[in-house]
Structure 1
Amino acid sequence: MNIIFKKIIMTGSTYIEFDKAVSKGFLLIQKQVNPNFGLLIICGCNLGLRISDLLKLNFKDLKKDEFTIVEQKTGKIRTLQSNHHIKLALRYFEDSLSYKRGGKPFVSQKGTTYSIQQVNRLIKKYFSGNRISSHSLRKSFGRRVWEMNNKTDQALLYLSEIFNHSNTLVTRRYLGIRQEEIKDIYLNL
């Protein structure tokens, strides 16, 4: 009997476990391995922004309890809060001139703002996985919100609004929840 197996190609990025990502971010900051990138990881997981919007932030924004951006992709106004993770990470930058002047936090050693390609290379350097990219940070935020709210439909409604998705089914697919639920159906027969 000749069986043909089809290779299934997964597209899109996956999430990074939130605690692992935040820990890695703080490690990069505390050990002075790559503090600016460590801050990017922490902000990415805690703000849920697309990388294009994250790279536009500055220390002036992050130091505030609440700040507003205009999303590049959608043109929509979004109000964000700097939570305790971000505030704690910012303490390591208080003596820097860029921090004091409200400059750009996500800069390379050359002093230029990271490109999306640089961010993707660094993400792959610091995290393992085939489908890890800068977008993984945004998905980590989504998974954390969903888990912290007991995996409820209410959490998906919030995330659908935050991510500007048309409905919660899109959010389920985006976060990989739908595929996990379908997999569980087969495993629980």
Structure 2
Amino acid sequence: MTGSTYIDFDKAQGVGMKLIRSGENPTFGLLIIAGINLGLRVSDLLDLSFRQLRNDTITITEGKTGKKRNLKTNDNIKAAVTYFSKENEEFHAFRSRKGTVYSIQHVNRLMKKHFKGSNITSHSLRKTFGRRVWDNNQQSEKALMYLSELFNHTSVSITRKYLGIRQEELDDIYMNL
């Protein structure tokens, strides 16, 4: 796998909720929860408002592809956003204490702070979503087809490589000799 790596979904969910509940960095905790449960690129995540996160369906136009997408907010997101009941609906959800929207560089710094390990970046949230979908669907080709469509990849083989699955399969060849 090249670039960033994924994080264990349950660990990421726990870190996100801890940051929210403890008050240490609630908006970053919400970003983690939204990132691993929506599978968006961080640039698209940073554009979300509290109103969007409170809705059952989020409609966005992806920045990179220009494609319109409808996403469902699951119970993990709904539970996390309840801690922000006093926030203005129109505000960007992911702001620093100074009130400015997080930059991708700042998100990357926070990722490295809260998730120790090599190759952890903001993109790890999207990969964590992908690995969770793949694992929850018994690591099936069907799951890879859905993810390929969600990620706007041109082929399932790209999705497989993106999630680091291909390398794991190649490594298994050596281990099974």
Bucket of the pairwise TM-score, normalised by the shorter protein? over 0.9
Structure showing greater radius of gyration is 1
Give the alignment's TM-score, normalised by structure 1.
0.92
Q: State which of 70, 75, 80 in structure 2 corresponds to 1:79.
A: 70
Q: Is 1:50 the equivalent of 2:41?
A: yes
Other structure's SS at 1:42 match:
helix
- Amino acid of the structure 2 residue aligned with 1:145: V
1:107-132 Cα shifts (integer Å, max 9, x gaps) = 00101000000000000000011100
Structure 2 segments unaligned to the other structure (5+ residues): none
Deviation at 1:105?
1.0
Q: Bigger relative contact order, structure 1 or 2, given CA contacts below 8 A and separation 6+?
A: 2
Q: State which of 153, 156, 161 in structure 1 corresponds to 2:144.
A: 156
Report percent identity of matched pairs. Answer: 60
Q: Is 1:66 the equivalent of 2:71?
A: no
Distance in 1 of aligned mates of 2:152 and 2:130: 12
Partners of 2:50 and 2:87 within 8 A in 1? no
Q: Is 1:122 the equivalent of 2:113?
A: no
Distance in 1 of aligned mates of 2:93 and 2:145: 31
Partners of 2:12 and 2:33 within 8 A in 1? yes
Partner of 1:133: 121
- Amino acid of the structure 2 residue aligned with 1:149: N
Distance in 2 of aligned mates of 1:58 and 1:73: 19
Other structure's SS at 2:94 match:
coil
State the superposition RMSD in angstroms: 0.9
1:83-104 Cα shifts (integer Å, max 9, x gaps) = 000000011111x232xx3311
Structure 1 segments unaligned to the other structure (5+ residues): 1-9
Q: State which of 83, 87, 91 in structure 2 corresponds to 1:97.
A: 87
Other structure's SS at 1:97 match:
coil
**How many residues end up aligned between the 2 structures?**
177
Give the alignment's TM-score, normalised by structure 2.
0.98
Q: Which runs of 4+ in 1 moved over 6 A?
A: none
1:12-68 Cα shifts (integer Å, max 9, x gaps) = 100011110011000000011100000000000000000000000001111110121
